[in-house]
Amino acid sequence: MDEGASKDAPTVTATGDLLRTLPAGVMVREVRNIVTRNGLTTEVYRNDWDARQPPVAQAIYVTLRPGAISAWHRHVHQLDRIFVVAGSIKLVVFDDRPNSATSGDVCELFLERSRPMFVTVPPGLWHGMQALGRGDGAFVNFFDRLYDHAAPDEWRLPVANDLIPYRF
């Protein structure tokens, strides 16, 4: 083999299931596009997907311009549920929770409308997104609590920082 070359690790099973290690508490639910006579139908969210999670209190629609990065942020209380509705978006999650089984782990998820996924990011995890490709990326985020305009549950770090071992 060529010196310095590394062999790719498997990314999917023989049946097409994605292989990945997720930070503790992060959940990914792959959903299916249903081809209809008019186009596509996709279930974006159902409250019976994980009845243990708190109910949805608010949803926002976000568009990222090509190449745009929205990073880094986390919440102390808020649960994010993310579903990409247009384009391609890379979601990166970093776990720095001291008592977490996955503390120190970084996870990249590539989200796209063609293979829909519903991703739940619990409180306490740093996460950021980048729109990939030439077009806008767009997603809907379903919060478990209302946005508090007077005291937002939003904590931020610059894109490049010394805490998170990842560079967009």
Structure confidence by residue, pLDDT tens digits, 118-159: 999 999 999 999 999 999 999 999 999 999 999 999 999 999
pLDDT of 133 reads: 93
Higher pLDDT, 1 or 149: 149
Which residues fall within 8 angstroms of residue 59, CB to CB, at 6 or more apart?
140, 141, 142, 143
> If you average pLDDT over residues 20-47, what whole number do you get?
90
For domain 27-46+57-156, give the fold.
Answer: Jelly Rolls (2.60.120)
Q: Note the pTM of the prediction, 2 decimals.
A: 0.89
Domain boundaries, the chain: 27-46+57-156
Q: Is the dihedral of CA 75, 115, 24, 136 positive or negative?
A: negative
Rounded to an integer, what distance in angstroms lies between the CA atom of residue 6 and that of residue 118?
Answer: 32
| Phi then psi dihedrals of residue 145, to 5 deg | -145, 155
Q: Is the dihedral of CA 13, 129, 82, 62 positive or negative?
A: negative
Rounded to an integer, what distance in angstroms lies between the CA atom of residue 58 and that of residue 148?
Answer: 11
- The partner residues of 62 in beta bridges, in order of sequence, read 139
Rounded to an integer, what distance in angstroms lies between the CA atom of residue 54 and that of residue 164?
Answer: 28
Rounded to an integer, what distance in angstroms lies between the CA atom of residue 123 and that of residue 160?
Answer: 21
87, burial (CB in 10 Å: exposed 0-12, middle 13-18, buried 19+) = buried
pLDDT confidence of 1, banded at 50, 70, 90?
A: low
Q: What are 146-151's contacts with CB under 8 Å, separation 24+?
A: 146/57, 146/58, 147/58, 147/60
pLDDT of 2 reads: 78
pLDDT of 52 reads: 84
Q: How confident is the model over 55-79, as pLDDT tens digits?
A: 999 999 999 999 999 999 999 999 9
